[in-house]
Amino acid sequence: MQHSSAADRSGHVLVAQVVLGLGGLFLGTAEFAAMGLLPEMAASYKVDVPTAGHLISAYAIGVVLGAPLLAILTARMERRKLLMGLAVLILAGNALSACADNFAIAALARFISGLPHGAYYGTAGLVAASMVPKDKRTQAIGRVMLGLAAANLVGVPLVTWMGQAFGWQSAFGLVAAGGLLLLILLPLTVPQLEAQRDASPRNEFSAFGSLQVWLTLATAAIGFGGMFAVYSYITPTLTEVTGVNPAEVPWFLALWGLGMVVGNTAGGWLADRSLNGAIVVFMIWNVVFLTLFSVAAHSAAIAAVVLFLIGVGFALVPALQAKLMDSAPKAQSLASAMNHSAFNTSNAIGAWTGGLSISWGFGWASTGVIGGILAVGGLAIFVVALSIAKREQR
């Protein structure tokens, strides 16, 4: 009887984690789909592609501002209600994106769509971790992050095809429908979870006073920027350097997404056994395979394998989120949400530095070397963080 009860509870926890991961799928799809549909959006609003790129920037600004702001304002809010409120924002922002009839409204819609991004991932990770023993919490966070990996594997290719076949508005319409589905499923599957007893906006602000929090955020912003240095220019690199037919590029991106799924799963297991060790291992992993991409890009077969292995480095995301939770025990909501602000910062850093390398004449494949350098920078910051923490313990 006890065995049956434990099995039922395990089943309920898994269902809840799947639903929480669905939110990650919808957010990740909305974030990356705009990149693939930028030419169509530019044509629709009669602007050039670089101008249309401001729509991506508007989303990123929403993420960076929304993560800390919502975490502080909702510090005392029951977690399931908070997730449902964030689902409403996902629904509203993407529905407005699909209906926007001019560029200004479209930019506002993308900003609104970005607001719940960091807060959702941070809160969903906390809720998932609360439902399992502490020695399995990073695996639980990883299951939520599987939604983001699945977005690259399934969601983005699907909505890109939809956008090209039925108009880019249909892609955001589908994500809005996903927000509605999430709003329905959350109260049916996810248990209520009250905020910490001493939760308050003031306590959440305390995270900003922790050097370990800032160093961990810097590790993510700099160290993960290498992955975005490669990802931002992956299509022209594959077509111009590797010699891949443009129609075959989605298959290479799917391999990247598959690597993200594997990394999330394996990385969560490893981090639950040695959190700091797992972060160091995957930082070194990224240094090696990002740098190797500069050479691998000249062969389609080798590039495919290396892109999969680069995707595995996504294991850093749940590990760094768990590290932030440890670094700010009284401000876990803010720390967890800020993790995703840091990753959006890494997106900007990676795209900028990769673009500089290309514009300076080093070629498309040089983004791999830039990625490796950024990963080394992130590793160095994390080693400093570990050294300071060890000194404080003494």
CA distance 216 to 346: 13
Q: What is the largest CA-CA distance in the chain?
A: 69
- Measure the CA dihedral 201/68/148/137, to 10°: -40
Tokens of 225: 């920027």
- pLDDT, mean of each 10-residue run, the chain (394 residues): 48 86 89 75 82 80 86 85 94 94 93 90 86 83 81 80 84 93 94 71 70 90 88 83 84 87 84 89 95 95 95 88 79 75 82 85 91 96 93 79
Nearest alpha-carbon partner for 143 in 16, 11, 17: 17
Enumerate the H helices of the chain as residue ranges: 2-36, 38-45, 49-52, 54-73, 79-99, 103-130, 137-150, 156-166, 168-189, 201-205, 211-223, 225-231, 234-237, 249-271, 275-296, 300-312, 316-327, 332-359, 367-393
Instruction: Tell me the DSSP string of 170-211.
Output: HHHHHHHHHHHHHHHHHHHHSPP-PPPTT--HHHHHGGGG-H
- Measure the CA dihedral 252/258/264/266, to 10°: -110
Distances (CA, A) of 77 to 129, 191, 336: 18, 14, 16
Tokens of 93: 């922002």
pTM of the model: 0.80
Question: Is the separation of the CB atoms in 65 and 115 below 8 Å?
Answer: yes
Q: What is the pLDDT of residue 176?
A: 94
Residues in the chain: 394
List the domains of the chain with CATH numbers: 1-195 (1.20.1250.20), 202-394 (1.20.1250.20)
